[in-house]
Amino acid sequence: MLFCGIDTSNYTTSVAVCDIDGNIVANLKRPLPVKDGERGLRQSDAVFAHVKNLPALMNELSALIADRSVCAVGVSSQPRNNEGSYMPCFLTGVAAAEAFCAGCAAPLYKFSHQQGHIMAAYSTSGAAGEEKDEFLAFHVSGGTTEILKVTLNATDLDVRLVGGTSDLNAGQAIDRIGVRLGYAFPCGPAMEKAAEAFDGKTAPLKTSVKGLECNLSGLENNAEKLIVGGETAEAVCAYVFAFLSKTFSKLAQNAREQCGGLPIVWAGGVMSNKMIQSRLASLGDCYFTNPEYSSDNAVGTALLARKKYIYENGL
């Protein structure tokens, strides 16, 4: 008994499979190509890239599952579970999921991309094993920097926005600075490697946090001053991740004060960064997952399909 997940974000085409016990059977991904010097894709280009990626990934999926039974399919149909939340790139995943379900007569469940991110991080970070049914989640990526209060319900996740950025997203700032330094988009992994090679002292960290909101445009401005001032790429990258770590730490402390000291699950591509993780771990009761489940993936969507199928069928 298998459960499939499909996610088509603005960065990656993803297909995943889990079994009835929640074990991850497959986590297949293909990044969307971005030209050198560019900082992302237009939606029309992302849609085209998914249309090219999906047939190969679905064929790979079919070979992996062979003759085993597909009980249900989950798909990311929108960025968030809000009315009006919409991005054309998710329509490609919905079309592929509908076609797949028609072929195997399995039910199709629709979730948000954000629910998938949170579920993947929750299930693979150890939080699920400790039965953390109510928690704070930081969803930090190129398109999102949000603080969320999350409650597990019978069929999926109740997600309520409580804070986040008021201007740039963290991933946006990283990629803008990275491209400025000459790194290829997405810039996070290369910048992390550069930062690890820096053994000096970072420039003063003048973060901007008020309650549960932060401003990150200052990070880009400060990094530009460092670049113009002749700082090395390694020093700039180390500054970027130290700045974000300090910002997230302040936000996390404020969120706990307002929301009753809940545990925190960290999700999204930016939270793949081991340097940021190590600095935030000192907060305590924090849950981080591996990069393959933190960055865009369909594992959470597959796990949500499993959760909803089990509930609807009384298993």
| Domain limits, CATH 3.30.420.40, in the chain | 2-125+293-312, 163-288
CATH classification of 2-125+293-312 is 1.10.8.50, yes or no? no
Strands (E), the chain: 2-8, 12-19, 24-31, 70-78, 108-112, 134-140, 145-152, 157-165, 208-210, 213-215, 264-267, 286-287
Q: What is the pLDDT of residue 6?
A: 98
Decide the pairing of beta strands 286-287 and 264-267.
parallel
The answer on pLDDT for 39 being more than 90 is: no
The CATH number assigned to the domain with range 163-288 reads: 3.30.420.40
The answer on pLDDT for 216 being more than 90 is: yes
List the beta bridge partners of residue 26: 17
DSSP letter (8 states) at residue 183: P
Whole-angstrom Cα distance, residue 288 to residue 62? 31
Average pLDDT, the chain: 96
Phi, psi angles (nearest 5°) of residue 118: -65, -45
Residues 27 and 299: beta-carbon distance below 8 Å: yes
The answer on pLDDT for 131 being more than 80 is: no
Q: What is the pLDDT of residue 306?
A: 98
Which pLDDT band holds residue 232 (cuts at 50, 70, 90)?
very high
pLDDT in tens, 156-173: 999 999 999 999 999 999
